[in-house]
Amino acid sequence: MTISKQIIAQMPKIELHCHLDGSISLETIHKLAKMENIPLPATLEEQQALFIAPEETKDLNEYLEKFHFIGRLLQTTAALELAAFDVVKQASYDNVKYIEVRFAPTLHTMKGLTLQEIVSAVVKGLKRGEVEFGVLSNALLCGMRHEPVENAIEVAKVAKSQLTHGVVGFDLAGNEVDFPPYAFEEAIKVAKDLDIPLTLHAGECHCGKNVYDAVVLGANRIGHGIALKDTPEYIEYIKENEIVLELAPTSNFQTKTVTSWEEYPFKKFLDLGLKVTINTDNRTVSNTTLNKEYAKLAEVYDLTLKDFYKVSCNGVFGAFVDDEVKKELGEIVNEEFEKLNGH
Ligand SMILES: [Zn+2]
């Protein structure tokens, strides 16, 4: 029997892959529009069309178009802080115990904020959410692939300066088709030399070699990594290096990374012993929650409590936190799953 939605809601979760700008609730979008004096379309349908990607998009780049409007609302420190707070609040509804929220500081400079100001505002919102909702929260900084490599290098340096202040890692996001890992080799090297933990989007656009390349270049975790399914020759390498894969089912279908459940590799990766995790990617753009993502996988694969426990443990393993925090998170995961086992 498929695990019930009630049990799923009570599972302790670790979420490693969630974008700030793609995950702001409609309620907070309304608040932000008012604060920033930017009118929204009149009807709910029109508003949703602006922020939510259809189930069928052409490709990753069409999916990414849904981020344009929301970006305009996130150009002040007050807006960024509120947005970050809002995402932690939503994570608490999914019983997330630890979340890493990622964003690209260079997308929030339209009104003259500095990268440092942007990062501080987001971290402030995350930490306020952490206190209010009891969800441990940290930030990941993204370099954008369509921007010059110099920008990503600048972002990596900002990440370093804030590493003990709520920022825990660096990522490369955006158009993977035109800008594969080696196009950003220089930026990745700077981040590596600065000892910044790395999670890189790769394998979201039908290229399994990108996953391998990203790890060779130094990634500790991979955003999605779906295309690894088509390049079995790299799987052992990913496994041996204990690379955590951040899957996000709804998003992976929307971006046409896969088109059918037969080819979706979640269970295959899990059974092979790869360190898979489940994530939302974008709660708003993908119109989802982490509970929904869990429920979807539970139904498709008839997953057991043990499978989900493994997923949470992989999340703890991959979290960019020190050993002491990992131990605490591990204890919370163990305790809460034990309670569920008793049901
Ligand atoms: Zn992503």
Residues around ligand 1, an ion, CB closer than 5 A: 223, 281
H or E element that contains 37: none
Share the mean pLDDT of the chain: 96
Please state the residue numbers annotated as binding site. 17, 19, 21, 174, 201, 281
Q: How far is the CA of 16 from the centre of ligand 1 (A)?
A: 10
End-to-end Cα spacing for the chain? 14
The residues, any chain, with a CB within 8 Å of residue 93's CB and separated by 6 or more, are: 289, 291
Rounded Cα gap, residues 159 and 176, in angstroms: 22
Tens digit of pLDDT for each residue in 193-238? 999 999 999 999 889 999 999 999 999 999 999 999 999 999 999 9
Q: How far is the CA of 146 from the centre of ligand 1 (A)?
A: 15
Residue 343: pLDDT above 60? no
Rounded Cα gap, residues 10 and 190, in angstroms: 41
Fold of 5-341: TIM Barrel (3.20.20)
The reported pLDDT for the residue numbered 64 is 86
Percentage helix, strand, coil for the chain under 3-state DSSP, each rounded to 5: 55, 15, 30
Q: Does residue 187 contact residue 156 with C-beta atoms inside 8 Å?
A: yes
Structure tokens at 129: 């959410």
Tens digit of pLDDT for each residue in 114-123? 999 999 999 9
Q: How far is the CA of 338 from the centre of ligand 1 (A)?
A: 31
Q: What 8-state DSSP symbol labels residue 47?
A: H
- Active-site entry in 204, 246, 293, 336: 204
Decide if 242 is catalytic: no
Listing DSSP states for 109-177 in one string gives -TTS--HHHHHHHHHHHHHHHHHHH--EEEEEEEEETTS-HHHHHHHHHHHHHTTTTTEEEEEEES-TT
pLDDT higher at 13 or 1: 13
Rounded Cα gap, residues 188 and 193, in angstroms: 9
The reported pLDDT for the residue numbered 324 is 98
Q: What 8-state DSSP symbol labels residue 66?
A: G
Please state the residue numbers annotated as binding site for Zn(2+). 17, 19, 201, 281
Residue 342: pLDDT above 80? no
User: Within 10 Å of residue 273's Cβ, how many Cβ atoms?
Assistant: 11
Q: How far is the CA of 22 from the centre of ligand 1 (A)?
A: 9
Q: How far is the CA of 244 from the centre of ligand 1 (A)?
A: 14
